[in-house]
Structure 1
Amino acid sequence: SGHFGVVKRCRERSTGTFYAAKFVKMRRCRSSRLGLEWAQVEREVAILRQLDHPNIMRLHDLFSSRAEVVLILELIGGGELFDFIAEKEMLSEEEAIEFLGQILRGVEYLHARRIAHLDLKPENIMLQEKDVPKPRIKIIDFGLAQRLDDGVTFKSLCGTPQYIAPEVINYEPLSSATDMWSIGVITYILLSGLSPFQGETDAETLSNIVAGDYEFEERCFSQTSEMAKDFIRQLLVKEPGQRMTATECLVHPWIK
C-alpha cells in the first residue's frame, strides 16, 4: 500500500497464474492534490515495458480508467529485504555479497539502458521466496525512475532521506551515480543494521549526507573485512563522477 494506491493479489482466468495488481488513483483535475498525474504513471509504465531481467519486477499488463490505473505485475512473495534484515539485525558478508551481486546486476542492466531508479532502498528490494538458502531478489517500484537522455539535465528533490545522494539535496543534476550512492548506503545497512547518515531528524540526516559525515562504528564493524569497508567507501563519495559504477562494483574484489 503506497501514497496513492494499494496492491492486491489477482489471478488470470485463462492461465490460472497469480499476479500483483497495483491500483493507482489518478488525479481528477490539475488543482487536486490527491492521486497521480497521468504523465507520472505513463513514465513508469514506459520504463517497465522496456525491462526484462531476472532481478527486476516485470509488468504483465495494464488496465486504465479515468479514475485509476491498474498495473498487473509479477507476484513476488518473499517480502521486503528491509524486513529480512530487521529479523536478522545484520547479515554475514557472504549473505550481503549474495544480495548485492543480484542488486548490482539489476542496476547494471538499468544503467546500460540509460535508466536511473532513483529510489533504491531495502523497502524497494523484494525477495522472490523467503525460506530458501539463497533467495532471489527483485528491484521494484519505478515510480521515481527516469530515462537519462544525452544533453537533458534532470533534477529532483524526491527520494527517502536516509538513502538520497548529496546531489539530490543540493538540487544538482542526477545520474546513474545517484543510484550508486544508495547502494553504498544499502551495503552499510546490510552489514551493520545501522543507517550511516541517520540523524535525530530528517534535517540532521540530510545535513550529515551533504557533509559526507559517517563512520564505521566499532561495535558493528569490528568483524567486517577491510575489503567490505573499501567497497562502501568507493560508493559514499560526494563527487558523483568518482563513485564506482555498477559494472566496477561487480569486479570489486569483495563482490567478485
Structure 2
Amino acid sequence: RGKFAQVRRCVHKETNKTYAAKTIKKRRRANDVSHEILHEIRVLLTASQSERIVKLHEVYETATEFVLMLEMAEGGELQRVLDEDDSLPEHHCRCIVRQIVEGVQFLHRSNIAHLDIKANVKLCDFGISRILTKGAELREIVGTPDYVAPEILQYEPISLATDMWSLGVLTYVLLSGHSPFTGETKQETFCNITNGSLDFPSYLFGDVSEEAKDFICKLLVRDPKYALYIIHYIIHYIIFTIFVPIIKTLFLTQGSIQLSGLFETRVVGHRKQWST
C-alpha cells in the first residue's frame, strides 16, 4: 500500500479466480494525474502478449480513482522471499533474472523503458515507465533510490540502457540480500551510485560464481553509451549461455514457494462482482 495507490487481492465471485485490484487516486497533492494512470494502462495493453509482464484484465473508473484489475502473479513479490530467506541460491536467481530479462526485452522492442525494475516475479508498476521517441531526449529524476541509474541522477538523457543498471542492482540484491550502494541517507545512496565502487564481500558472495559477479559488473557501468553497446552481449551471451543454463520449469522449492506458474487468465465480461 502506498500513499496514492493500494493493491488488494480480490476474487471473482462467479469464476472464483483471484486478481490483484490496484486502486490509484486521480489526484496527488491537488494535481490531476489521470494522464499518468492512462499511460500505465497503455503500457500494460501494449505488453499484453508477454508472459513475463502482468496482464491487465479490466479498468474501472470512479470520480476520484481508477481501479486496475490485474493478473495475480503467483509467488507474490520476490522482496517477501528475500525478507524471509535473506538471499537466493544462484540457480534460483538465474531463473528469475532470465524471466525478468525476457520481459524487459519485450518492452524494449516497443521502445518502452521500465525505469522501476524491482524484485517482482513479473514486471509490473509501469507508472514511471516512459515510451522513448527517436530523436527526442528525455531527462527526468525518477525511480526507486537504491535502483536508480547514474544518468538519471546526473540529469542525462534516459535510454533503454537505463534499465540495465536496475537489472544489475536487482541481481546483486537477489544473490546477496543487500543493495550494492545503500547509504545511511538517500543522499548518501545517490552519492554511492554516482561515485562509489562496486564490491563483492566474501561473507555475502562466498558461494557465488565468478560468472554471476561478472554479469553484474557488465550491467553496472556508469556510461550509458557503453551500457547500450553491451545490451546485445549481455542478453545473448551471458544470460543464455553462461549465467543461465537451459531452464525447463522455474520453482523455488524452499518453503513450497512457486515462482514459475503462469497464472491462467482471460478477459471476463463487464457484469461481475468481486470480493476482497
TM over 0.5: yes
SS in 2 for 1:138: coil
Aligned counterpart for 1:112 among listed residues 109, 129, 134: 109
Is 1:102 the counterpart of 2:85 in the alignment?
Answer: no
Give 2:255's aligned residue: none
Question: Deviations 1:101-123 (Å, cap 9, x if unpaired)?
Answer: 1111111111111111101112x
Measure the CA separation in 1 of the matches of 2:7 and 2:100: 23
Measure the CA separation in 2 of the matches of 1:87 and 1:20: 22
Please give the TM-score of this superposition, normalised by the length of structure 1.
Answer: 0.87
SS in 1 for 2:66: strand
Give 1:255's aligned residue: 244
Aligned counterpart for 1:225 among listed residues 209, 232, 238: 209
Letter in 2 for 1:5: A
Please list, as runs of the form range in 1=range in 2, the aligned pairs for 1:131-210 lying within 5 A after superposition.
137-210=121-194
Measure the CA separation in 1 of the matches of 2:12 and 2:175: 40
Measure the CA separation in 1 of the matches of 2:115 and 2:202: 30
Does structure 2 conserve the Cα–Cα contact (< 8 Å) formed by 1:60 and 1:72?
Answer: yes
Measure the CA separation in 1 of the matches of 2:173 and 2:133: 31
Is 1:50 the counterpart of 2:46 in the alignment?
Answer: yes
Letter in 2 for 1:10: C
Aligned counterpart for 2:60 among listed residues 51, 60, 63: 63
Measure the CA separation in 1 of the matches of 2:103 and 2:86: 25
Q: How far off its partner does 1:250 sit?
A: 4.2
Aligned counterpart for 1:37 among listed residues 33, 39, 63: 33
SS in 1 for 2:170: helix
Question: Deviations 1:87-136 (Å, cap 9, x if unpaired)?
Answer: 111222111101111111111111111111101112xx1xxxxxxxxxxx
Runs of 5+ consecutive residues of structure 2 not aligned to the other structure: 246-276
SS in 2 for 1:195: coil
Does structure 1 conserve the Cα–Cα contact (< 8 Å) formed by 2:22 and 2:69?
Answer: yes
Q: Using CA pairs below 8 Å that are at least 6 residues apart, which structure has the higher relative contact order?
A: 2
What is the aligned-residue RMSD (CA, Å)?
Answer: 1.8
Q: How far off its partner does 1:39 sit?
A: 0.8
Summarize the Cα distance change of 1:240–1:150 in structure 2 as closer, same or farther, 3 Å threshold: same
Is 1:237 the counterpart of 2:226 in the alignment?
Answer: no
Number of residue pairs the alignment of both structures matches: 239
Give 1:131's aligned residue: none
Does structure 1 conserve the Cα–Cα contact (< 8 Å) formed by 2:218 and 2:234?
Answer: no
Question: Deviations 1:119-158 (Å, cap 9, x if unpaired)?
Answer: 1112xx1xxxxxxxxxxx3111111111111112111111
Summarize the Cα distance change of 1:255–1:36 in structure 2 as closer, same or farther, 3 Å threshold: farther
Q: How far off its partner does 1:76 sit?
A: 2.4
Does structure 2 conserve the Cα–Cα contact (< 8 Å) formed by 1:166 and 1:209?
Answer: yes
Summarize the Cα distance change of 1:109–1:15 in structure 2 as closer, same or farther, 3 Å threshold: same
Please give the TM-score of this superposition, normalised by the length of structure 2.
Answer: 0.81
Summarize the Cα distance change of 1:77–1:92 in structure 2 as closer, same or farther, 3 Å threshold: closer
Letter in 2 for 1:9: R
Q: How far off its partner does 1:222 sit?
A: 2.5
Measure the CA separation in 2 of the matches of 1:11 and 1:224: 41
Letter in 2 for 1:98: C
Measure the CA separation in 2 of the matches of 1:114 and 1:247: 19
**Percentage of matched positions with identical amino acids:** 41
Give 1:17's aligned residue: 17
Q: How far off its partner does 1:2 sit?
A: 2.0
Measure the CA separation in 2 of the matches of 1:212 and 1:242: 18
Measure the CA separation in 2 of the matches of 1:101 and 1:240: 22
